[in-house]
A and B are shown apart, each in its own frame.
Chain A
């Protein structure tokens, strides 16, 4: 299992951030060629991102590039430039149609074989930023084996839903739930959108706790200072880990003795409880990441 608690956006035209983003220990970085880059700077940013990908060592980070949308004429040159550098994945904005994912899959395969990279290595992360995209979430998630996660949009999605931002983002409750449902039905991760107010640590924590409860595996991040808070929420506590260990051990012992269900601390432990405990241990076993302030 790959931890994707935090995915840090790095503006593709900012060498300072591109070189240093991984030092803040997010689980992944997103080198952004889309919204962070003005139309007049697209070529320069693409070249810069390519050079950074070639030169920099990102440590344990999952390295992805947000390319320009498939409704523009930039996406092909974007992937032709960055995929041969051996990145972990691309993030496609404003996905609405599963057919586009099929098309992207084929294009990626061609570039990979030409660049002598194992075909299928480059994963796809889909941003669903319109009502139609969210509506088709399941089909999009299943359109290619490369799809690793689907993610709701923020402001774009609000605009498409003909609504605005409210204090608790109530307008996104429905889309977020749909994405969680579609992602887990399709066997991919559900990754949440960014929390825009970079000075409101308490608000970020509240929202992260809420989306974790909904079933998301992580969040996109626009400022390094947000990483430790999100990791804190998504990383199991020592008590949770201890409890999970007890459950997994008891289940293993029961299985060895041919028993179906066992009790731990007076509570019945059945299959879903064991499954959740195993998931907790998986998440805890990974690197801690982030810097606690």
Chain B
């Protein structure tokens, strides 16, 4: 066992994961080795059509066998049909013992439970949102789930730490020679950012599409020279689960209050100036922060340079209004973003490698001024948990949390002080996702706590005069005063989840929940 830089006691080796590289602090693991190379192959000009009749034919053609690693992207979110269909086909073909390596799984993938229980799936490396996370937390998987950030995952791929045998890429549009785009088609999802490294590094790439078009496809996101096979199917997903219609700013007063506190902090800092760059999520508080920042930019005549990350209609409108020059889009959340990426050359698709990989010559998060992120809980050291809930269940992925927090000049965590009767500011988080050393401020409805490491920000906020400053200790104590002591989570010793930091070191582990 070793106590790592986040203060967590971690075994030196974990069954099913292997030897542990311990977290030594942000930016403390230098890159090693060379980028991974995949096998060379050719498609002679006698083969001018890569389509195959169905998924099973593609599985056979790809050489997929028991024990191999399959990858998927999550651009179809909760509307995805592809992951379930591929695993159903594998099960029917008697293929077992697979490692699946999705960028994330959603509620719709509850369907995989039977394949986990029957041994078709041995391990999941990727975010497990919802039911699969619950299953893993209760000990339903024989090998630990490995959680990586949006930057940590392409780092593992490009460095060869994870070798993808077959990448299955859901493609809203493809031509018969494998030029893929997410921008058009009945299942359009916009950016295919998370699929790029998989297309580039997998030993075999299978595109699955429900919109096969004449060669060459329009608005190509992933080009033909990466793609081995193309499978046309009826539907790759349900548009209702892929994109939301419109994105509206919340009217929930508490969320607005938290958002307003965050916006006041942003305005107080030196990062609120011409050329600013900004990232928020699509959640209620995040979007409301964006709304307040937009209003302040209008009022003070400030023009930004770029909006980053998951892109919503809100950011699209800000670009149209001239408040951003460009959008760098790794994931498009709504119809307006999908439409924009297809039409506007200033709305640029970026890969996860480009977005957040710490092991390249410079990823996009490094150029980010301000990011607004969420949390399930934060602690006195400003450590953030986004993976586990108060009951210890591992229900959420890391997303770009670690990457943007590490890259941005100003990292703001917004969270209510309490959710129901559960405190969100605690002595010590149950799981460390993002270390406090890369977190600058925690914003709640009861005030704004700035990391003492950032005296410059504390001074700026004091000078602005309208930021309701508190200390982290005050927030924790206030929460405790309201809720009283919490019953500790009871666990078994077995590790069911490994949380990697973006550099591939292990920052924390999640243990199996004790049966109640």
Instruction: Say how far B178's CB is from chain A's closest CB, in angstroms.
Output: 50
Chain A's interface: helix, strand, loop or mixed, by majority? helix
Q: Considering the complex, which residues of chain A in the window 1-40 have a beta carbon less than 8 Å from any beta carbon of chain B? A: 15-16, 19-20, 23-24
Chain B 419-451, CB within 8 Å of chain A: the 1/0 string?
Answer: 011000000000000000000000001100000
Inter-chain contact B253/A24, CB cutoff 8 Å: yes
Q: Enumerate A108-145 residues with CB–CB distance to B below 8 Å.
A: none
* Contact in complex: A23, B257 (CB < 8 Å): yes
Interface residue B515 (Cβ < 8 Å from any Cβ of A): no
Complex alpha-carbon distance, A41 and B286, angstroms: 36
Please determine whether A224 and B253 come into contact, CB atoms closer than 8 angstroms.
yes
Q: Report the Cα distance A24→B445, complex, angstroms.
A: 9
A23 to B447, CA, bound (A): 9
B-side contacts of A24, CB under 8 Å? 253, 257
**Residue from the list A23, A55, A199, A293 in contact with B446, Cβ < 8 A:** A23
Interface residue? A43 (CB, 8 A): no
For the complex, count residues of B whose C-beta is within 8 A of A.
Answer: 13
**Which single member of B254, B257, B260, B481 contacts A55 (CB below 8 Å)?**
B481
Inter-chain contact B253/A55, CB cutoff 8 Å: no
Q: Is B256 an interface residue (CB 8 A)?
A: yes
The answer, among A15, A20, A199, A293, for a CB contact under 8 Å with B254, is: A20
> Could you tell me if B256 and A223 are in contact, using CB atoms closer than 8 angstroms?
no
Of chain B, the residue at the smallest CB distance from A15 is B421
Which residue, B257, B420, B481, has most C-beta atoms of chain A within 10 A? B257
- Which residue numbers of B lie inside 8 Å of A, CB to CB? 251, 253-254, 256-257, 260, 418, 420-421, 445-446, 481-482
* Chain A residues closer than 8 Å to B482, beta-carbon distance: 19, 55
Q: Which residues of A contact B (CB under 8 A)?
A: 15-16, 19-20, 23-24, 55, 199, 223-225, 291, 293
Contact indicator B445/A23 (Cβ below 8 Å): yes
Chain A positions within 8 Å of B253 at CB level: 24, 223-225
CA distance A291 to B259 in the complex (A): 12
Residue pair B251, A225 in contact (C-beta under 8 Å) = yes
Cross-chain contact of A20 among B420, B421, B445 (Cβ < 8 A):
B445
Whole-angstrom distance from the CB of A8 to the nearest CB of chain B?
10
Q: Whose C-beta in chain A lies nearest to the C-beta of B264?
A: A291
A15 to B421, CA, bound (A): 9
Q: Which residues of the partner chain B approach A293 to less than 8 Å between Cβ atoms?
A: 256
Chain A residues near B257 (CB, 8 Å)?
Answer: 20, 23-24, 224, 291
B445 touches A291 (CB 8 A): no
Give the residue name and chain of the B residue nearest to A198 (CB): B251
For the complex of A and B, list the 6 residue pairs with the smallest distance between their C-beta atoms, beginning with the closest. Answer: A224-B253, A23-B445, A225-B253, A291-B260, A20-B445, A23-B257
Query: Roughly how many angstroms separate A15 CA and B418 CA in the complex, as a whole number?
Result: 11
A-chain residues with CB within 8 Å of residue B420 when the two chains form the complex? 16
